[in-house]
Structures are given as C-alpha cells and as structure tokens.
Structure 1
C-alpha cells in the first residue's frame, strides 16, 4: 500500500511540476493546450495508485480517459498544422463586381471611325447587371482631357444565341467638325440593372446629356477602348 501511495505521489508531483512550468515555456496557446491535455492524460494513472481498491474496472476507466485526452491533443496538433485558410471561408462567396466586370472586354475596332459606331465584345453580361458605355475626349493613350465630361451611350446587349455582347449604332463624340482626328475613349462599365433606369432618366432630363467624371464609380469599369475620329459626322 505504501509503495502504491509513494508511486502515486511521485507521478502526481511530476504532473504538477510540468503543469506549473508550462506557462513559463515559450509556447503559443495551441501548443500549451496540447501539453496540458497530455499531462491530464497521465492523471488517471496517478489516481489508480492512490485508490488501488477501485477494482478491475479501474484500468478500463484510466485507459478510456487517457485515450480521450490523447486524441484531443492529437486533434489540436492536426488542426494547428492544417489551419482553415481565408480562401476556404470565402470560397462560396459571390464574386465581386470588379471580378465580374473583368470578364467583359471590347473587340478591337479598325479606325479612324465615324460618328456612328457599333461595338462588340467578349464575355457574358451577368444576370441582374448591365454593361453601359460612356465616351469622353482623350489623348491617343486613353488619358482623358482634364476639363472633359462623359457622354452616356446606353447599355450593351447580349449577343443572341452566342457568347459576347454588342452595342450597335452609338453616336460617339460631338459630331462636329472639331472631332476630326481627335481621340475618344469608350468606357464599358458594369453596373446593377437598376442603375440603367437612373442613367436613362438623368440623361433624358439633362439639357447637355453630359455626365461628371465620377459617373463611372456607379459600377466597375470592365474595359476601355480609345478610338480616332474621321471626318464622317452623320448621326446614327
């Protein structure tokens, strides 16, 4: 009996010392949890030595408790080595407006172009959104003229029976003689469908039909196309 008690006291003392020393070791919280679980897994065996009269089931009980605590420690180690990535959490999130817009591109146009121009592009306009076009005077590199504003050229439509989109017969630029050899940049902007109604109403009530430079912030710019005007100014 004395030998059992002495051995139990020794094991208990060792467990206590380890538990006390854990906070002083340079470990992160998950490592400390693993050590604490492993130390706790030894405690049932210490109890066996202190209470030897518990009968044959004592080893079953001690073994079960040790197994549970050891598995818990192993699980903590596994999830520490395989943390949940931020991308896994966001995998089911819908794509952002900018990402949807990036799939829509202009097809190139040979130039110079008339005042009346038809556009086409690649990509599918997503449901509940619209691809609207704006034009604005620029230089040949697509840098907008500092004092210029946007003109609204309306929404594009999906190509019937095929991928892509079209925007036929759009009046680009002012249509004046001053447009000759000038550069105009067309911006395709993906916006929520309701925004088209707002733009249609706003431009129809406007005397000039011009929109401020910040209008593209209503959505996400999908693509830009810089064109050179010729001398043909007939309207669509």
Structure 2
C-alpha cells in the first residue's frame, strides 16, 4: 500500500512492569459520574443515563512513574481545569455487552487527567455547540502506565485524589461513581462497538478547579499509585 505521506505513529501507553505498549484506538470520557461533582457543576445528581464525549487518541500525554509530566497550557483559554480520573483500558471489544460480563473486557487501569478549557466549554454549552475545543485539544489527556487486571485485579473501590502545589483539591472514592465501570461499559457498548485499544475516562469527583503555569498537580488512585504533572 502506498500512502501520499507517512502515517503518524500509533498513539500508545506503556504497560506497567514490562516493555509492552497498549495501542490507543479511541478515548471515551464519561461526564458527571460522581454525585458531588454533578452538584458542583449545577446539575441534578440523581442517576440519569450517562453521557459521553471523546478525545482524539493522540491527546494522550504519557507520564512515566517517578517523573513529572509537562502539560503545556493551551492557547485561546484563560480558565483551564483539572479533572482527576480512573481510566479503564479495553482489551477485548464487543457490542451490547451485558454489565454482568463487562469487566471481562477490561485489560487494565491507569491514572488519568481530563484537562478542560472550562471557558470554551461554558461558551459551547451556552451556544449549544460541541465540546471538542474544550476537551479534545493537544495533550489534554495526561495518563500514567496501564496496570493489567491480571496483576492488580478489578478496581471497584479505593480513594481517588488530586493535589495542586501540595494542597488537596479533590478526594473521593471510586465506589462513589454513579455509573460503575461495568455499567459504563455496558451503556457505552450499546452506542458504539468497543474495540481493544479503547480508553474510558470514568469521570471525576468534586473539587475541580483552575491551574496556571507553574502549578504542579499530583493525583492518584488507591491500588495504582500516583503521578505528577507540571503546567508549563
């Protein structure tokens, strides 16, 4: 096959504990999946059907363990927010997956940040426009290594937190998700046929807020550790 130019490299994330890499196909994100976060964003926290938005695969910004990732403050915004999340990595695809079987499709879990141009998101909401410029910009998905379920097991409870410059901003427990990982996969797979390589950012707890250049974000999930990202 001849291409008119060389295709871009496949976006990928290293797997913890080895040399293997997880090729990223799509990034799906769940909106308002913690009750307290729904309230802080001005929405009814009652369990309503989940909604989703996407980021391009090459939005991933890998943060190696023990290092400080470098997140470049994006242009055309003066209000960029952090959203700490648990990421589920899909290792086996499927459509209309029953919730009872959904966790069989999870290859592993990772730490993730859904970085958001909040001012552009607010404007898009007001005008009824898509969120792409607010959510899908370059390097808007910092992520740590993927920890295989075969080594750490399934994650259904455990603390999730984020500090900025040492001050705690977000803290909750992943058991507080309105739609747990299995239910999210079941619902999402009715909308899209999931494939190996898909990443699902599973939503953020309350406490989201703005960062500026020079800020250092330190986030973690119990069972898969912590990572650090500096805004530059």
TM-score (norm 2): 0.23
Structure possessing the higher relative contact order (Cα contacts under 8 Å, 6 or more residues apart)? 2
* Structure with the larger helix share: 1
Whichever of the two has the greater Rg, that structure is 1
* Structure with the larger strand share: 2
